[in-house]
């Protein structure tokens, strides 16, 4: 305990680190304030009544978890950062199949700037489509037959102004995330999602307590189920952190009087190279059907189809799991290229014992990576859909989602990543960090 207190004192002794932390906290506070500023023209009393009487055990409730309650508040930041993530996904997929984007990825800093600009343009388009769906959803919301958007303010002007405000809110929160990454501490986009999820925990806990107090929940059964869920997820996370090491032999080379090589090194291949990114990718895609369905709230056929994409449906879970497996392979292919590794080994005089350098080495690495990625992708899919099945045992969806699935992985991953950056600042100034070894393994999103 004394060690942790000393570390925190050291953090605030470093002027630059202190400024970065305070800057990050200030921007996160601004983001949280924005999630409580309701859109113009909405009857807030009816909105809160309709929200309390509704259920969070659906896809809108899950989306609300990611944006920190801004969606249920009909706030100016109701869309959160999800349109930006969706745009990033589209550009990354395009970079794997479209030559123009592949060329930009190889152009270094200039190509990166161009891709960033295209991602922002895509964010505007996706945010506009989602904002349109949100306006239709708000216009259809009622409480005791009273619309939350009064008849006096309804019309094209209100709809267009609402769409403009929501799009501007998304662009503002995207800019805030970039500022945190550049001038603050940690990854800005990840921290915004992180703080939104943490914010919903007290409300989920309070709702669960009320259900227990009313006799609708059995506290013993619920504690046992949640404990098992956390243990399962902890076990899966530990398994996916495992690695397969490939030995690489470097032949001796004599240059002048110096001897190079003659040693054996290892290429570590992680079971889960992609981290939590496949879950975020898949979840962003799964929000698209609900957005499209919101355009037709009174269509019976669309309503029937929408039932197959509800958060608790078997169809949703199967599609979600398959998409996670696909994106795990896709993101692994982006993050780790066996061909590049094989070429670098060949240039440095390295080889895998029993395998010829060049193409055979690349195929050998790719074969092993493919085999160990499969269990990693299945484990990620299990983590993601576990809260859906747990909720069928009586645990509310909001509470189960917080303790499992994407939420828990994001919370742990972002916390470790932020601590890793703080640790780096401390070690550069010759202060002790949180760990004596000074090695924290974070995960970026």
List pLDDT tens digits, range 52-74.
655 445 556 667 777 777 777 88
Instruction: Please tell me whether residues 79 and 211 are part of one structural domain.
Output: yes
Instruction: Please tell me whether residues 133 and 243 are part of one structural domain.
Output: no
Instruction: Please tell me whether residues 40 and 157 are part of one structural domain.
Output: yes
3-state secondary structure of 366: helix
Lowest mean pLDDT among 25-34, 223-232, 347-356, 422-431: 223-232
| 167 band by pLDDT with thresholds 50, 70 and 90 | very high
Q: What is the mean pLDDT of residues 289-311?
A: 71
Q: What is the pLDDT of residues 26-50, one digit of tens each?
A: 999 999 898 888 888 888 887 777 7
Cβ count within 10 A of residue 187: 22
Residue at 435 is within a domain: no
Domain count, the chain: 2
Determine the Cα–Cα distance for residues 313 and 307; give it in Å rounded to an integer.
7
Above 90 in pLDDT, residue 148? no
Cβ count within 10 A of residue 364: 17
Q: What is the mean pLDDT of residues 221-232?
A: 68
Contact criterion met (CB below 8 Å) for 281 and 275? no
Instruction: Please tell me whether residues 295 and 176 are part of one structural domain.
Output: no
Instruction: Please tell me whether residues 247 and 211 are part of one structural domain.
Output: no
CATH (domain of 353): 1.10.3370.10
Decide which of 154 and 203 is more confident.
154
Decide which of 246 and 364 is more confident.
364
Above 90 in pLDDT, residue 372? no
Instruction: Please tell me whether residues 78 and 189 are part of one structural domain.
Output: yes
Instruction: Please tell me whether residues 93 and 25 are part of one structural domain.
Output: yes
Strands 243-250 and 350-351: antiparallel
Residue at 440 is within a domain: no
- List b or e across 310-348, with b for residues whose CB sees 16 or more CB atoms inside 10 angstroms: ebeeeebbebbbebbbebbbbbbbbebebeebbbebeee
Instruction: Please tell me whether residues 19 and 168 are part of one structural domain.
Output: yes
Residue at 265 is within a domain: yes
Residue at 442 is within a domain: no
Residue ranges making up the domain that contains 42 = 1-216
Q: What is the pLDDT of residues 88-147, one digit of tens each?
A: 888 877 877 788 888 887 777 788 888 888 999 999 999 998 888 888 888 887 777 788
Q: Show Cβ contacts of residue 146 under 8 Å, excluding neighbours closer than 6 positions.
A: 43, 46
Residue at 431 is within a domain: no
Residue 327: the pLDDT is 86
Contact criterion met (CB below 8 Å) for 61 and 55? yes
Decide which of 201 and 132 is more confident.
132
Instruction: Please tell me whether residues 288 and 144 are part of one structural domain.
Output: no
Instruction: Please tell me whether residues 32 and 105 are part of one structural domain.
Output: yes
Determine the Cα–Cα distance for residues 380 and 366; give it in Å rounded to an integer.
20
Q: What is the mean pLDDT of residues 229-254?
A: 64
Instruction: Please tell me whether residues 231 and 173 are part of one structural domain.
Output: no
Instruction: Please tell me whether residues 294 and 206 are part of one structural domain.
Output: no
Residue at 427 is within a domain: no
Mean pLDDT of the chain: 76
Residue at 408 is within a domain: no
Residue 169: the pLDDT is 92
Decide which of 100 and 230 is more confident.
100
Above 80 in pLDDT, residue 233? no
Residue 111: the pLDDT is 83
Q: Is the pTM of this model over 0.75?
A: no
Share of the chain above pLDDT 90, in %: 7
């Amino acid at each position: 305990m004394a060690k942790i207190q000393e570390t925190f004192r050291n953090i605030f002794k470093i002027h630059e680190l202190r400024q970065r932390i305070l800057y990050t906290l200030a921007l996160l506070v601004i983001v949280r304030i924005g999630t409580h500023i309701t859109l113009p023209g909405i009857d807030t009393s009816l909105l809160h009544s309709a929200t309390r009487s509704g259920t969070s055990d659906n896809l809108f409730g899950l989306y609300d978890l990611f944006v920190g309650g801004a969606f249920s508040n009909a706030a100016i930041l109701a869309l959160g950062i999800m349109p930006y993530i969706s745009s990033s996904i589209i550009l990354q997929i395009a970079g794997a199949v479209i030559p123009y984007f592949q060329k930009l990825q190889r152009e270094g800093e200039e190509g990166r700037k161009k891709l960033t600009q295209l991602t922002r343009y895509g964010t505007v388009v996706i945010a506009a489509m989602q904002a349109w769906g949100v306006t239709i959803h708000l216009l259809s919301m009622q409480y005791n037959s009273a619309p939350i958007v009064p008849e006096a303010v309804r019309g094209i002007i209100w709809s267009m102004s609402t769409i403009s405000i929501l799009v501007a809110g998304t662009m503002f929160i995207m800019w805030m995330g970039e500022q945190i990454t550049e001038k603050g501490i940690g990854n800005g986009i990840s921290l915004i999602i992180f703080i939104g999820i943490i914010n919903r925990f007290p409300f989920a806990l309070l709702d669960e307590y009320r259900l227990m107090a009313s006799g609708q929940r059995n506290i013993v059964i619920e504690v046992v189920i949640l404990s098992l869920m956390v243990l399962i997820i902890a076990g899966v996370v530990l398994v996916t952190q495992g690695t397969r090491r490939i030995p690489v032999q470097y032949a001796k080379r004599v240059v002048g009087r110096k001897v190079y090589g003659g040693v054996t090194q290892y290429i570590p291949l992680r079971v889960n190279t992609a981290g939590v990114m496949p879950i975020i990718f898949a979840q962003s895609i799964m929000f698209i059907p609900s957005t499209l369905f919101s355009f037709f709230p009174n269509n019976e056929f669309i309503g029937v189809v929408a039932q197959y994409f509800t958060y608790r449906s078997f169809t949703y879970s199967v599609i979600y799991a398959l998409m996670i497996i696909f994106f795990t392979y896709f993101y692994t292919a982006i993050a780790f290229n066996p061909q590049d590794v094989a070429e670098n080994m060949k240039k440095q005089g390295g080889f895998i014992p029993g395998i010829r350098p060049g193409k055979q080495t690349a195929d050998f690495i790719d074969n092993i990576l493919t085999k160990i990625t499969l269990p990693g992708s299945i484990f990620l899919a299990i983590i993601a859909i576990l809260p859906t099945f747990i909720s069928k045992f009586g645990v509310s969806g909001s509470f189960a989602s917080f303790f499992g699935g994407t939420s828990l992985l994001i919370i742990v991953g972002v916390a470790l990543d932020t601590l890793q950056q703080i640790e780096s600042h401390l070690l550069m100034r010759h202060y002790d960090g949180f760990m004596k070894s000074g090695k924290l393994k974070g995960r970026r999103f």
